Amino acid sequence: MSSPLPKSYGLVLFPGFQALDAFGPLDVLNVLSISHPLSLSILASTLAPVPTNSPANGKLSPNFGESVVPTHTFANPPADLEVLIVPGGFGLRNEAVVEELAQFLKGAYPKLRYVLTVCTGSVPLAQSGVLEGRKATTNKKAWVWATSPFPKVDWVHKARWVVDGNIWTGSGVSAGIDLVLAFVEEVYGAAKAKELTIGIEYDRHEDPSYDPFADIWKVTE
Amino acid sequence: MSSPLPKSYGLVLFPGFQALDAFGPLDVLNVLSISHPLSLSILASTLAPVPTNSPANGKLSPNFGESVVPTHTFANPPADLEVLIVPGGFGLRNEAVVEELAQFLKGAYPKLRYVLTVCTGSVPLAQSGVLEGRKATTNKKAWVWATSPFPKVDWVHKARWVVDGNIWTGSGVSAGIDLVLAFVEEVYGAAKAKELTIGIEYDRHEDPSYDPFADIWKVTE
């Protein structure tokens, strides 16, 4: 358990974010907020709603997506952020998006208590330099794209999630749920993590080395 | 496989919806939309962004939530809806919300090809009368609250999800991911369901009778 318990959470959003990368962890934290006085800031480039289907990414259908409302811009973040969550998604195939997030993360990280990435959310954190010399993991299907530009990161090939100091990195998409439940267990205690897990009727992976997807996607040393 | 394949999806939202109830299924469908030309309408009482933390529900922290932008109101839904998704959430403890959803569902159901509920999303569908004489399931922690007003529904106590005709009902929260993957398998084929499952690195439950949570929450016949 951490003392004092963190209260101020932030979520970084960008057009083309992967919905479950964000809403897996957020759903768990939404329920945690029933018993703990948490706050959430949603940060984006502007205050316009942020869509899951980015027009800049032709892969996603322009007619199927969801838009989430930010509360702050990267230029004017809240001063007291303690925990920052960074989802991945196809929108990160746009280099300007990665660079904007990386600049924000570079400035924000020294003041944070924890940073959590899910899926290719590791890419802007790697681009910021924060992951240099650190153990981290990322999406297994996108492994080569996500890791090859960052040889100074100690990428862990087979992992559901990886913890290195205050940096928690998750594997692809649904791994974010296991990541955040492990984080809740570490910070708020095992009883709370169990309560949240059975509350959302989730069959949790508690072993961070669980990773059949590394083999499925042929991610090797 | 269904022919022709459904293209027009709708999501019903209300203040205090459970984020993962909606975004588990939606994330899978977002990725499906890369290969299939789907559209999504997001329906709510008004076009104002819909928050996960309803002010009408004191359980959820007013400072921790996410707001999603609707595309249509219940009064003016798209004419061509084929598949409707109904999430649950604490916001349904407000009877006026349940009644508004029930009235919409009663009118919409006869024109739909499929309706999918997750968690207590079964409650407004039961209230609409559509579930009478049908097999259905719901959240296990909220079982008594969700089922006892609707004795004419054939509630299935132990189930990850239940299919009765064109009505697919899921158990609590994360069960929505297994529900939608089973739906994709039925409608779009097993190969597509497997592709989406490994793409989101999900350890899918393929057995609809998988349900340790019925015992955990003491749900019995």
CATH number at residue A38: 3.40.50.880
On whether residue A1 sits in a domain, the answer given is: no
Does the residue A190 lie in any domain?
Answer: yes
Q: Which residues of chain A does B39 touch, with a Cβ-Cβ cutoff of 8 Å?
A: 61, 63-64
pLDDT at B24 over 70: yes
Q: Give the tens place of pLDDT for each residue, B132-191.
A: 999 999 999 999 999 999 999 999 999 999 999 999 999 999 999 999 999 999 999 999
B52 shares contact with chain A (CB less than 8 Å): yes
Determine which helix (DSSP H) or strand (DSSP E) holds A28, and give its type and residue range. helix A19-35
Nearest-by-Cβ selection for B171 from A59, A60, A201: A201
pLDDT band at A220 (very low <50, low <70, confident <90, very high): confident
Quick check: B142 and B150 in contact, CB under 8 A?
A: no
* Minimum distance, in Å, between the CA of residue B147 and any CA atom of chain A: 17
Q: Which residue type is seen at A84?
A: L
Task: Decide if A221 is inside a domain.
Answer: no
Task: Kindly state the tokens that stand for B21.
Answer: 């109830």
Residue B162 main-chain phi, psi, to 5 deg = -135, 140
pLDDT of residue A129: 98
The total number of structural domains that make up chain A: 1
Query: What does the pLDDT read at residue A58?
Result: 66
* pLDDT over 70 (residue B27): yes
Residue with the larger pLDDT of the pair A55 and A98: A98
In a domain, B3, yes or no: no
Mean pLDDT for chain B overall: 96
Q: Inter-chain contact A33–B53, Cβ cutoff 8 Å?
A: yes
- Interchain pair B18, A33: CB under 8 A: no
Tell me: pLDDT of A97 over 80.
yes
Interface test with A, best of B7, B8, B18, B23 (most A CBs within 10 A): B23
pLDDT of residue B59: 74
Going through chain B in order, the beta strands assigned E by DSSP cover 8-12, 39-44, 50-51, 67-68, 72-73, 83-86, 114-117, 135-136, 154-155, 161-164, 167-170
Per-chain mean pLDDT for chain A:
96
**Closest residue of chain B to A139, computed from CA coordinates:** B201
* Interface residue B104 vs chain A (CB under 8 A): no
Is A188's pLDDT higher than 80? yes
Distance CA B140, CA B143 (A): 5
* pLDDT at position A204: 98
Domain span at residue A25 reads 8-216
A35: confidence class by pLDDT, cuts 50, 70, 90:
very high
B173: in domain: yes
- Identify all chain B residues contacting A87, using CB atoms and an 8 Å cutoff: none
pLDDT, residue B3, reads 76
Q: Does some domain include residue B1?
A: no
B56-92 pLDDT per residue, tens: 766 778 899 999 999 999 999 999 999 999 999 999 9
Mean pLDDT of A202-214: 97
At A36, the pLDDT band (50, 70, 90 cuts) reads very high
The verdict on residue B185 lying in a domain is yes
Structural domain includes residue B221:
no
CA of A128, closest CA in chain B: separation in Å?
A: 25
pLDDT of residue A55: 74
Q: What is the ipTM of this complex?
A: 0.96
Q: What is the mean pLDDT of residues A83-103?
A: 97
Q: What is the CA radius of gyration of chain A?
A: 16
What secondary structure does DSSP assign to A2-22, as a single string? Answer: -SSPP-EEEEE--TT--HHHH
Mean pLDDT of A192-217: 97
For A105-155, write each residue's pLDDT tens digit: 999 999 999 999 999 999 999 999 999 999 999 999 999 999 999 999 999
Nearest to A172 among B19, B22, B200 (CB): B200
Cβ <8 Å between B19 and A39:
no
Cα separations in angstroms, B43 against A21, A80, A167, B188, B209: 23, 35, 38, 24, 31
8 Å CB contact of B63 and A139: no
What is the three-class DSSP state of A141?
coil
